[in-house]
Amino acid sequence: MSANLAQGLSAGVQALGLNLSPDQQQRLLDYMVLIQKWTKVYNLTAVRDPAEMLTHHLLDSLTAIAPLTRHTKGQAIRVLDVGSGGGLPGVVLAICMPEVNVTCVDTVAKKAAFVQQVAVSLKLPNLRGIHARVESLTDPYQVVCCRAFASLPDFVTWSRSALAEDGVWMAMKGKHPQEEIDALPEGVKVFHVEPLTVPGLAVDRCMVWMKPELAPTA
């Protein structure tokens, strides 16, 4: 991995105000190498240029770290990354937040296998990839997240069975998805939308936080 990419990652981490060790930054770069290698065979991503991969994948996923850290307050929780593909943002969360157990679920077997391979190669005991439909999962997760996966109504409907009783949904989206928010099913409430800034990328990004809303008792 070139020195330019390492510098680009380091500058991005600094711009995001993240406190990542040299080892964590190296693992992120190693992860990128694995994506590039496996994409040749498995077509994990349409983005092939390393510099573009850094901004569009790594730095974009890194914008989730600070919001999630604020939410977890350092607690050891279980996170489910839905429609994870090549592990974005799930692998990035696992590298940067060792206290969090991350499961990446995808309906494509080779993508789940890739995440398992990343866990072994990068020695990440807190990461696993599973090949399944999210609707079939019933283990409880405190945070269910996605990045560029589906509309908000579909995301919360499909993953409802995997959400812990006190759990929340965390969706990484482009521009503020007001139409999708308006179309959310009854019983799901948006409690926070925060803008995200991706270093080196002039695009609209935001994080939509949702939770089940208790029906008022009669």
136 Cβ contact list (under 8 Å, min separation 6): none
Percentage with pLDDT > 70 across the chain: 93
CATH number assigned to the domain comprising residue 93: 3.40.50.150
For the chain, the maximum distance between any two Cα atoms, rounded to a whole number of angstroms, is 63
**Dihedral sign of CA atoms 164, 157, 71, 5 in order:** positive
Q: Per residue in 16-48, pLDDT tens?
A: 999 999 999 999 999 999 988 887 666 666 566
**Into how many domains does the chain fold?**
1
Tell me if 71 is assigned to some domain: yes
Tell me if 119 is assigned to some domain: yes
Q: Per residue in 157-211, pLDDT tens?
A: 999 999 999 999 999 999 999 999 999 999 999 999 999 999 988 899 999 999 9
Beta strand extents in the chain (DSSP E only): 78-82, 101-106, 127-131, 141-147, 163-173, 188-196, 205-212
Tell me if 31 is assigned to some domain: no
Tell me if 171 is assigned to some domain: yes
In this structure, of 50-64, 101-115, 122-136, the range with the lowest mean pLDDT score is: 50-64
Tell me if 86 is assigned to some domain: yes
Tell me if 49 is assigned to some domain: no
**Mean of the per-residue pLDDT values of the chain:** 92
Beta-bridge mates of residue 192 = 209
Tell me if 15 is assigned to some domain: no
DSSP 161: G
Q: How far is CA 186 from CA 10, 14, 135, in A?
A: 43, 40, 18
pLDDT for 211 equals: 97
Q: Residue 180 belongs to what domain range? A: 63-212
Tell me if 17 is assigned to some domain: no
